[in-house]
Structure 1
């Protein structure tokens, strides 16, 4: 087990048989207000508030309950009006990730499209293993008025609703048909939210006639409960086996994943990397696991990794994965670990990840398990030649990074616009140590993974498990709620902005200052590059008029995204050069209200090299020479893939 049953702390001296009459909605709000987590002796509120949009499915249930709570006990269970249900879940996810998964937010929606709008957000949370609590409204449990507005009808089953679509993207799902079922549902939900190995989206569907229904609840149901998030220790024999394997390594390599952050293992990892002399490459979720400038930090690893990390990974004889799920970007589609004799040691709280690549599974909390492995291997150290190679590769990459940022693409490119990487360099040098950069989709995550040097463990916030277009602004809102005192900068492309920008209005309404950096390259730059690489000639990736049936051949659209930002209430600063961007960014950071910096970039500007591959299949037969050439390259490159069995 990775989480323990909660300790109930009675708040009342009433007899155990005493009851209180509340609606289901009121009972949920009161129950959630009494739930806490504890780890290392530090206690946190588990659910700190609700996002929501009310409709006929929840306005009389959870809506009324939240109003009553606000009037009777202001601040006990805050409510924020979201503008998009998917955005609300993204905000809750950003909040929970920034809080280290020890606290989260709930989201309530009406029946039908309001509910199903949350499914993308639920998938993102579960894939990234971030706890969020979802309460979609549902049909009438009594079925008296069926079919109700927005109800799905099926000829084969009458107990299936659209909310069943949440099942595959939730780590826990229940539907409360009767008030008596609520305690079991909520206790099960709390268990899932606090399980570090298997957390994610937790969904409790609430029929709209059940939410306002009254019931006599045992008073102890609302006592304070503290859910202990345990630091599971690894099996001693597994630690000894891992120590023996690592002791034999000549060229070890560490892959740091998100589990390093969630277990707060950064300090232990940094100490062991120094003591052992092992380079550390990071996944997207693990970026910042070592402080910038650490002598064994070699940056991102994999398809969007640095040349230093990828060269060391390719020659590694033992790979130690710490809190990583080994996604295809991290492993360069199983091609990056090229040593024919490579072995894996996987330190992970989730058994699912610990056994990947036939690795030696060491199942446990990352911080606890790393410390145990350090104790079991006190005298190990790599040799001087390997350390010199690490230094040389780090220096080579640092030189390349400096050249990338110093390049003047604005002068060399055909459009006279700057490049995205130049802007990322300015962002990295301008943001403070604890300011947070938020990104999720497009070409920016790849450039950020390679080029960003985090000033602190929480500065780098890139969602790349689901890589969801539109996460950036909503996720930034959640981070700002989690830590109001930090500067939060959402770096968003025009494609992502057009997908989901509505929570900008929520941030403005709540007086939560964000900085938005909107990069406009008039299309899908990342997919454009990918399309070209697979021989599809950037077809359908540019925002243009449809000319003679070709969406890539027409003229540019008269879209003014800066004006759109202003219409939503943000102050907008336009920049047309790196110098103007630097000045505008500093002004936005100094501003007291939400401010956006709008800049147009060249979608054809080059990025930075990394030396790794990503598996995207290419059409096997084609009449197009561009596709035929791409297929030949694909056949060549995929020969490097290995099963790691």
Structure 2
């Protein structure tokens, strides 16, 4: 058997270079590049292998480009956003040193797994030999010597392994690729690599490094499951589709639009599914759930059949199980992942979204919703369009509302441009109001809703879609958590636009705090020494100057007209730009048409809390299990 002598780290990179993925006849390299922050755990292992790959590319595979990030969590966010922009058909590798560097990636791993997006994490680990023990940055466990901090990755990874011997590497990498390319089981994959093993040489079989193509399956619906689904749909008087991220990842948007147009069934969307149905379609009724549009929520309340396609039914989508009020409502779930398909006691169709929608549309060529229901759909669309226009066009004083900024962006961004957001009150306003025309345009991470996601995500999306204008909307709270990838954006000459909304605190949690009787406690950026609920002197943090120090050009504006002019300038600029604008934390925001379960203290000496609990008890009566 022909062998090749490589270190474990060199073998890892050589293997990854030669992995490809194919779907619908299109084949491409699966790993587009590698992010890495180096320390004593990986500088002489994976770091050396990436260096060797860069200066002496692998003859039978080429190279994996390396990008130098600034923060381990940030680089995983960038890799996750890259995979999302590529519909899970391409991703990035992330490597870190041991200890704190590795643990910094855990939040990013949770984001990837919760969103069902593939990323490969290679955290370094303690010595497999245990001779230097404890090594620098090692956390010791007095119960066992067989645990390291990397075991924290287990609950947030779809596959986890630790390479304690060179012989373990290739089987582990094969399982990693299986998980990464499985549409039903993808997410963060973690292979922990002890630092001594990374540098250990071994005679690997040369055949392990041959080019391999992983074929992403399109599972057709089972014939019996299709028949059951057709029976449910034909019997329904008020069906409603909820389109989730699986529609986009399956490239099923056209199939969804064809199905909805042919049958007249209205389509509501989750954050991950927004844009799969173009907003101007007569069947598009907007976001559903706790932060959804009244147009979708009113239809969801009366629906007798919910058709969930590629959705995992988060508590925001179901309004904490209070959204679907029809006592005889039934669920039909179309999902490639059985774990999600079974939710809400649904009739299950375990299938690829595009294949299922195509089969349903063909079989329902003679069926359409009633004229009465079609009229109701049209009325709800018209009513919500008026609400959206009012939120977008309001002129709030003394500073604009954030919804005015969203309206300006919605008008000025192109169909293939990408809007990015993840945390705070903004995702709620965006789900209710944003008029998405394409699946590419709306990139809001609201499965894990990680503060700090937006800036590294802008980097990842721009790397994935270099021809698109990438716009990240960032609040001052999330900016202060993870701004450092701005330096990488500048270093890599990536043209992105950062829209910074300054409202001096955590506006979203402030509003939630007020709603549950906690008086916005601990949510305002005010000088210390006084009340944590008052409106004291602002903390003198100058985010605009901070962004300039990272290398960005910053345009400070105060009005929406100035914002529009600045955005045009940013569009025309060849480099990364920030537009800084102060906005009101108090809205106006789209009116709520649903609920979210956040428990309120049952007893309190504070009157605002006792009043909030009375309201909570009343709302909870609408909740039901399925």
TM-score, scaled relative to structure 1: 0.95
Q: Indicate the residue corresponding to 2:611 in structure 1.
A: 629
Query: Which string of whole-angstrom CA distances, capped at 9 and with x for unpartnered residues, describes residues 476-516 of structure 1?
Result: 10011111111100100000000001111101001111100
Contact 1:310 1:610 in 2 (8 A): no
Cα shift readout 1:314-344 (whole Å, capped 9, x = no counterpart): 1000110000011111111111111111000
Partner of 1:358: 345
The residue that corresponds to 1:595 in the other structure is 577
CA distance in 1 between partners of 2:439 and 2:531 (Å): 49
Indicate if the aligned counterparts of 1:101 and 1:262 stay in contact, CA closer than 8 A: yes
* Cα deviation 1:81-128 (Å, max 9, x = unaligned): 110000000000000000000111000000110000000000110011
Aligned counterpart for 2:417 among listed residues 430, 435, 446: 435
Secondary structure at the aligned position of 2:621 is classed as helix
Alignment match of 1:119 (pick from 72, 93, 106) = 106
Check the 8 A contact 2:524/2:532 in 1, yes or no.
Answer: no
Counterpart position of 2:19: 35
- Map of 2:250 onto structure 1: 263
The normalised TM-score by structure 2 is 0.98
Q: 1:71 aligns with which of 22, 30, 55?
A: 55
Rounded to whole Å, the distance in 1 between the matches of 2:332 and 2:364 is: 14
Decide whether the 8 Å contact of 1:345 with 1:360 is kept in 2: yes
Match of 2:86 in 1: 99
Equivalent residue of 1:304, what SS?
coil
Whether 1:315 and 2:297 are equivalent positions in the alignment is: no
Aligned twin of 1:6: none
- Tell me whether 1:21 sits opposite 2:9 in the alignment: no
Residues of 2 paired with 1:523 and 1:66: CA distance? 41
Tell me if structure 2 keeps the 8 A contact 1:111–1:138.
yes
The answer to whether structure 1 residue 611 and structure 2 residue 593 are counterparts is yes
Render the CA deviation track for 1:577-627: whole Å, top value 9, x for unaligned. Answer: 111111111111111000000001111222001411111111111111111
Do the aligned partners of residues 398 and 548 (structure 1) sit closer, same or farther apart at CA in structure 2, a change above 3 Å counting? closer
Output the CA distance in 1 between the equivalents of 2:457 and 2:34. 15
Q: Residues 545 and 551 of structure 1 are in contact (CA less than 8 Å); yes or no, is this contact kept in structure 2?
A: no
Task: Name 1:109's counterpart in structure 2.
Answer: 96
Which residue of the other structure, out of 401, 404, 408, is the alignment partner of 1:422?
404
Give yes or no for the alignment of 1:179 onto 2:161: no
How far, CA to CA, are the matches of 2:609 and 2:241 in structure 1? 37
CA distance in 1, matches of 2:491, 2:394: 40
Q: Which runs of 5+ in 1 are unaligned?
A: 1-16, 411-415
- Is the CA contact 2:563–2:579 (under 8 Å) kept in the aligned structure 1? yes
SS at match of 1:579: helix
CA distance in 2 between partners of 1:127 and 1:505 (Å): 27
> 1:173 and 1:400 mapped to 2: Cα distance?
47
Residue 382 of structure 1 deviates from its aligned partner by 0.7
Match of residue 365 from structure 2 = 378
1:557 maps onto 2:544 in alignment? no
1:44: which partner in 2? 28
In 1, are the aligned partners of 2:163 and 2:192 still within 8 Å (CA)? yes
For the residues of structure 2 that align with 1:266 and 1:550, how far apart are their CA atoms?
47
Say yes or no: does 1:136 pair with 2:152. Answer: no
Query: 1:552: how far off?
Result: 4.1
Tell me which residue corresponds to 2:623: 641
Aligned residue in 1 for 2:46: 62
SS of corresponding position for 1:244: helix
* Cα contact 1:90–1:474 (8 A) shared by 2: yes
Q: Which of 258, 261, 270 does residue 274 from structure 1 map onto?
A: 261
**Given that residues 424 and 508 in structure 2 are in contact (C-alpha distance below 8 angstroms), is that contact kept between their aligned partners in structure 1?**
yes
- Pick from 429, 433, 439 the counterpart of residue 457 of structure 1: 439
Looking at structure 2, the residues matched to 219 and 24 of structure 1 have their Cα atoms a distance apart, in angstroms, of 14
d(CA) in 1 for partners of 2:525 and 2:492?
33
In the alignment, which residue of structure 2 is the partner of 1:546?
Answer: 528
Q: 1:377 Cα shift?
A: 2.7
Match in the other structure for 1:339? 326
Inter-partner Cα distance in structure 2 for 1:548 and 1:525? 19
- Counterpart of 1:80 in structure 2 is 67
Residue aligning to 1:569:
551
Contact 1:112–1:162 (CA under 8 A) maintained in structure 2: yes
Secondary structure of 1:378's partner?
coil
After TM superposition, the structure 1 = structure 2 runs for residues 473-488 of structure 1, keeping only pairs within 5 Å, are 473-488=455-470
CA RMSD of aligned residues (A): 1.0
1:203-242 alignment, distance < 5 Å: 203-242=190-229
- Does the 8 A contact of 2:459 with 2:494 survive in 1? yes
Secondary structure at the aligned position of 1:253 is classed as strand
Partner of 2:504: 522
Distance in 2 separating the partners of 1:223 and 1:541: 55
* SS of match in other structure, 1:267: helix
Task: Identify the residue that residue 349 of structure 1 maps to in structure 2.
Answer: 336
Question: Residue in 2 aligned with 1:392?
Answer: 379
Contact 2:519 2:533 in 1 (8 A): no
**Residue correspondence of structure 1 range 242-261 to structure 2 within 5 A:** 242-261=229-248
How far the C-alpha of 1:267 sits from its partner, in A, is 0.7
For residue 458 of structure 1, give the secondary structure of its aligned residue in structure 2.
coil
Asked if the contact 1:20–1:218 (Cα under 8 Å) also holds between the matched residues in 2, the reply is yes
Shift of 1:369: 1.2
Aligned to 1:7: none
Match of 2:150 in 1: 163
- Displacement of 1:563 in angstroms is 0.4
Question: C-alpha distance in 1, partners of 2:533/2:492?
Answer: 40
Q: CA deviation at 1:538?
A: 0.5
1:73 positional shift: 2.1
Could you tell me whether the CA contact under 8 Å between 1:541 and 1:552 is conserved in 2?
no
Paired residues of 2:262 and 2:361 also in contact (CA < 8 A): no
Report deviation, 1:532: 0.3
Contact residue 260 and residue 366 of structure 1 kept, 8 A: yes
Partner in structure 2 of residue 466 of structure 1: 448
After alignment, is 311-320 or 398-407 more displaced? 398-407
Distance 1:550 1:248 in 2: 56
